[in-house]
């Protein structure tokens, strides 16, 4: 059982859905980013997605891209991202941390070295958007052997023929992308997401968490009502980009979490 498994088991026993928050490590700077991450559990976040900035973020919309650019310009590195995880673990041993990003920084570090360092830092899961299931031997299987969940994305174009391959080695949860396209490009609609979540649930016992296009407490609630939880990223990153104080960012996150938890 990983922290992710434990979290979903607890939420199920409480009759609640999960709220997952994404922030870009190092945005707008390392100190502020660390403070935000450490404040997320107290704002109602059940799972933290910690973005690793990358120079060619092909799946991200402009909001996340700019966050990554700010972080890289400020000197954010993979070591510093792992340092943020370690900082959270000083006071929180239960909230799962999922690192989300691209394969190049991991490949450059070396898979075995990266996985050892990630496990030591308290990383519980990985979402690596540019590694398809055909490349599971590259990172997915070694990660799971190291006790780190490998979370796969399913999309509106993942048909019944492709779905079993996507789910084959997925662990922790399935991240369903509610819309076609990049992050932040449209609003998620529960009436279209619900049937897709139901379709995926017929093929797996893993929790299904829905992300992309969720910007408000109302949408977080509507999506959580048809799934096992909701992810918000761009809307939170926008607050950071606007220069809001950490307390205001966390207050906004709290409203989103309350929305998802009220489902």
Q: Catalytic residue positions? A: 49, 60
Are 18 and 10 in contact, with CB atoms under 8 Å apart? no
Under DSSP, the state recorded for 18 is E
Rounded Cα–Cα distance for residues 13 and 11 (Å): 5
Sign of the torsion angle spanned by Cα atoms 199, 201, 202, 203: positive
Q: Which two tokens stand for residue 168?
A: 């084959």
Rounded Cα–Cα distance for residues 129 and 256 (Å): 25
Q: Which two tokens stand for residue 109?
A: 């570090």
What backbone torsions phi and psi does residue 129 show, to the nearest 5 degrees? Answer: -75, -15
Sequence-distant (6+) residues with CB within 8 A of 43 are: 21, 250, 251, 253, 254, 257
Are 117 and 106 in contact, with CB atoms under 8 Å apart? no
Distance from chain centroid for Cα 166: 17
Question: CA–CA distance from 113 to each of 16, 25, 101, 109, 252 (Å)?
Answer: 37, 20, 17, 7, 37
Cis peptide, bond prior to residue 183, ω within 30 of zero: no
């Amino acid at each position: 059982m990983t922290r992710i498994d434990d979290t979903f088991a607890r939420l199920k026993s409480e009759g609640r859905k999960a709220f997952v928050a994404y922030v870009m490590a190092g945005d707008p700077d390392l100190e502020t980013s660390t403070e935000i991450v450490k404040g997320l559990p107290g704002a109602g976040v059940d799972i933290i997605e910690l973005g690793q900035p990358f120079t060619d973020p092909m799946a991200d919309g402009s909001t996340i891209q700019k966050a990554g650019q700010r972080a890289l310009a400020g000197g954010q590195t993979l070591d510093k991202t792992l340092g943020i995880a370690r900082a959270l673990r000083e006071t929180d041993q239960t909230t799962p941390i999922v690192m989300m990003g691209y394969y190049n920084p991991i490949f450059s570090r070396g898979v075995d070295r990266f996985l050892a360092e990630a496990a030591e830092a308290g990383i519980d899961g990985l979402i690596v958007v540019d590694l398809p299931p055909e490349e599971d031997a590259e990172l997915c299987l070694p990660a799971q052997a190291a006790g780190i969940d490998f979370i796969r994305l399913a999309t509106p174009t993942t048909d019944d023929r492709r779905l079993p391959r996507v789910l084959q080695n997925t662990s922790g949860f399935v991240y369903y992308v509610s819309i076609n396209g990049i992050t932040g490009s449209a609003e998620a609609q529960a009436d279209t997401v619900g049937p897709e979540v139901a379709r995926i649930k017929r093929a797996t016992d893993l929790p299904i968490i829905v992300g992309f296009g969720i910007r408000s407490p109302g949408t977080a609630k509507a999506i959580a009502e048809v799934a096992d939880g909701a992810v918000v990223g761009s809307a939170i990153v926008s607050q950071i980009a606007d220069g809001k104080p950490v307390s205001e960012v966390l207050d906004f996150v709290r409203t989103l979490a309350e929305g998802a938890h009220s489902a």
